[in-house]
Protein backbone atom coordinates (compact mmCIF):
# COMPACT_ATOMS: atom_id res chain seq x y z
CA UNK A 1 0.00 0.00 0.00
CA UNK A 2 1.15 3.52 -0.80
CA UNK A 3 0.59 6.48 1.48
CA UNK A 4 0.27 9.84 -0.22
CA UNK A 5 0.89 13.06 1.67
CA UNK A 6 -1.35 15.89 0.51
CA UNK A 7 -1.19 19.45 1.80
CA UNK A 8 -4.66 20.53 2.95
CA UNK A 9 -4.96 24.30 3.01
CA UNK A 10 -7.60 26.05 5.10
CA UNK A 11 -9.19 29.35 4.11
CA UNK A 12 -11.94 31.62 5.37
CA UNK A 13 -13.99 32.38 2.28
CA UNK A 14 -11.43 32.40 -0.52
CA UNK A 15 -10.74 28.68 -1.05
CA UNK A 16 -12.33 28.80 -4.54
CA UNK A 17 -10.06 31.68 -5.54
CA UNK A 18 -7.01 29.84 -4.17
CA UNK A 19 -7.91 26.57 -5.91
CA UNK A 20 -8.45 28.40 -9.21
CA UNK A 21 -5.04 30.04 -8.80
CA UNK A 22 -3.30 26.72 -8.07
CA UNK A 23 -5.03 25.07 -11.03
CA UNK A 24 -3.71 27.82 -13.33
CA UNK A 25 -0.25 27.65 -11.74
CA UNK A 26 0.01 23.90 -12.31
CA UNK A 27 -1.95 23.60 -15.57
CA UNK A 28 -4.74 21.55 -14.03
CA UNK A 29 -8.43 21.71 -13.14
CA UNK A 30 -10.29 22.26 -9.88
CA UNK A 31 -12.52 19.57 -8.41
CA UNK A 32 -14.68 21.08 -5.67
CA UNK A 33 -17.91 20.76 -3.72
CA UNK A 34 -19.68 23.62 -1.93
CA UNK A 35 -21.32 23.55 1.47
CA UNK A 36 -24.64 24.22 -0.25
CA UNK A 37 -24.33 21.41 -2.81
CA UNK A 38 -23.34 18.95 -0.10
CA UNK A 39 -26.05 20.11 2.32
CA UNK A 40 -23.36 20.67 4.92
CA UNK A 41 -24.71 24.03 6.13
CA UNK A 42 -28.14 25.63 6.25
CA UNK A 43 -26.60 29.10 6.38
CA UNK A 44 -27.17 30.90 3.02
CA UNK A 45 -23.89 32.80 3.39
CA UNK A 46 -22.08 29.44 3.25
CA UNK A 47 -23.81 28.00 0.19
CA UNK A 48 -20.97 28.86 -2.22
CA UNK A 49 -18.05 28.28 0.13
CA UNK A 50 -15.88 25.22 -0.51
CA UNK A 51 -16.35 22.23 1.81
CA UNK A 52 -13.99 20.04 -0.27
CA UNK A 53 -11.66 21.00 -3.08
CA UNK A 54 -8.55 19.75 -4.78
CA UNK A 55 -6.15 20.36 -7.64
CA UNK A 56 -4.25 17.35 -8.91
CA UNK A 57 -1.85 16.98 -11.82
CA UNK A 58 -0.81 13.92 -13.79
CA UNK A 59 2.75 14.42 -12.53
CA UNK A 60 1.71 14.02 -8.89
CA UNK A 61 1.17 17.54 -7.53
CA UNK A 62 -1.91 17.49 -5.32
CA UNK A 63 -3.27 20.26 -3.12
CA UNK A 64 -6.54 20.15 -1.18
CA UNK A 65 -8.35 23.16 0.27
CA UNK A 66 -11.57 24.21 1.94
CA UNK A 67 -13.22 27.11 3.72
CA UNK A 68 -13.24 26.36 7.46
CA UNK A 69 -16.58 25.22 8.87
CA UNK A 70 -19.06 27.88 10.03
CA UNK A 71 -18.12 28.94 13.55
CA UNK A 72 -14.69 27.27 13.37
CA UNK A 73 -11.84 29.60 14.40
CA UNK A 74 -9.46 30.54 11.61
CA UNK A 75 -5.92 31.83 11.97
CA UNK A 76 -3.63 31.68 8.97
CA UNK A 77 -0.63 31.65 11.26
CA UNK A 78 2.93 32.56 10.48
CA UNK A 79 5.25 29.97 9.00
CA UNK A 80 2.88 27.27 10.23
CA UNK A 81 3.73 25.01 7.31
CA UNK A 82 5.32 24.85 3.88
CA UNK A 83 4.19 22.99 0.81
CA UNK A 84 7.32 21.39 -0.62
CA UNK A 85 7.56 20.41 -4.28
CA UNK A 86 10.67 18.48 -5.27
CA UNK A 87 10.97 16.95 -8.69
CA UNK A 88 13.31 15.51 -11.24
CA UNK A 89 12.30 17.64 -14.24
CA UNK A 90 13.73 21.19 -14.12
CA UNK A 91 11.20 22.42 -16.69
CA UNK A 92 8.27 21.12 -14.64
CA UNK A 93 9.54 22.67 -11.39
CA UNK A 94 10.28 25.94 -13.21
CA UNK A 95 6.74 26.00 -14.63
CA UNK A 96 5.31 25.46 -11.12
CA UNK A 97 7.51 28.29 -9.79
CA UNK A 98 6.44 30.60 -12.60
CA UNK A 99 2.77 29.90 -11.92
CA UNK A 100 3.00 30.32 -8.15
CA UNK A 101 5.11 33.48 -8.30
CA UNK A 102 2.21 35.59 -9.64
CA UNK A 103 1.60 38.07 -6.82
CA UNK A 104 3.99 36.25 -4.47
CA UNK A 105 6.52 37.43 -1.91
CA UNK A 106 9.81 35.82 -2.95
CA UNK A 107 11.53 34.51 0.17
CA UNK A 108 14.40 32.75 -1.64
CA UNK A 109 14.98 33.59 -5.31
CA UNK A 110 14.61 30.64 -7.68
CA UNK A 111 18.04 29.50 -8.83
CA UNK A 112 21.05 27.38 -7.90
CA UNK A 113 21.48 26.65 -4.20
CA UNK A 114 23.86 24.73 -1.94
CA UNK A 115 21.67 21.60 -2.15
CA UNK A 116 20.06 21.84 -5.56
CA UNK A 117 20.69 23.09 -9.09
CA UNK A 118 17.32 24.93 -8.84
CA UNK A 119 15.55 25.88 -5.62
CA UNK A 120 13.43 28.70 -4.29
CA UNK A 121 10.82 29.64 -1.74
CA UNK A 122 7.89 32.03 -1.90
CA UNK A 123 4.78 33.06 -0.01
CA UNK A 124 1.94 33.05 -2.52
CA UNK A 125 -0.75 35.70 -2.61
CA UNK A 126 -2.86 33.56 -0.25
CA UNK A 127 -0.14 33.44 2.42
CA UNK A 128 0.88 29.82 1.72
CA UNK A 129 4.64 29.20 1.73
CA UNK A 130 5.92 27.01 -1.10
CA UNK A 131 9.45 25.58 -1.33
CA UNK A 132 10.47 24.09 -4.69
CA UNK A 133 13.60 22.34 -5.84
CA UNK A 134 15.05 19.99 -8.40
CA UNK A 135 16.52 16.85 -6.87
CA UNK A 136 20.33 17.00 -7.23
CA UNK A 137 20.54 13.40 -8.49
CA UNK A 138 18.02 14.19 -11.24
CA UNK A 139 20.10 17.09 -12.48
CA UNK A 140 23.28 15.00 -12.66
CA UNK A 141 21.58 12.11 -14.42
CA UNK A 142 22.15 9.76 -11.48
CA UNK A 143 19.19 7.82 -10.15
CA UNK A 144 17.33 9.60 -7.34
CA UNK A 145 17.18 7.91 -3.97
CA UNK A 146 14.83 8.32 -1.03
CA UNK A 147 16.46 9.29 2.25
pLDDT tens profile 90-140: 999 999 999 999 999 999 999 999 889 999 999 999 999 999 999 886 545
Q: Are 57 and 12 found together in one domain?
A: yes
- Is position 14 within any domain? yes
Count the domains in the chain: 2
Residue 121: give the domain boundaries: 82-138
Q: Are 61 and 87 found together in one domain?
A: no
Burial class of residue 124, CB neighbours in 10 A (0-12, 13-18, 19+): buried
Instruction: Please give the model's pTM, rounded to 2 decimal places.
Output: 0.79
Domain endpoint, select from 17, 41, 67: 67
Q: Are 50 and 98 found together in one domain?
A: no
Question: What whole-number distance in Å separates Cα of residue 139 and Cα of residue 142?
Answer: 8
Domain endpoint, select from 18, 44, 67: 67
Amino acid sequence: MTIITTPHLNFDGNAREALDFYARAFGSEVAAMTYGAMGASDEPAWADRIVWGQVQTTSGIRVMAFDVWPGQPYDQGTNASYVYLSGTDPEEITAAWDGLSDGAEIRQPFGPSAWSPLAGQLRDRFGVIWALDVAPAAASGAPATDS
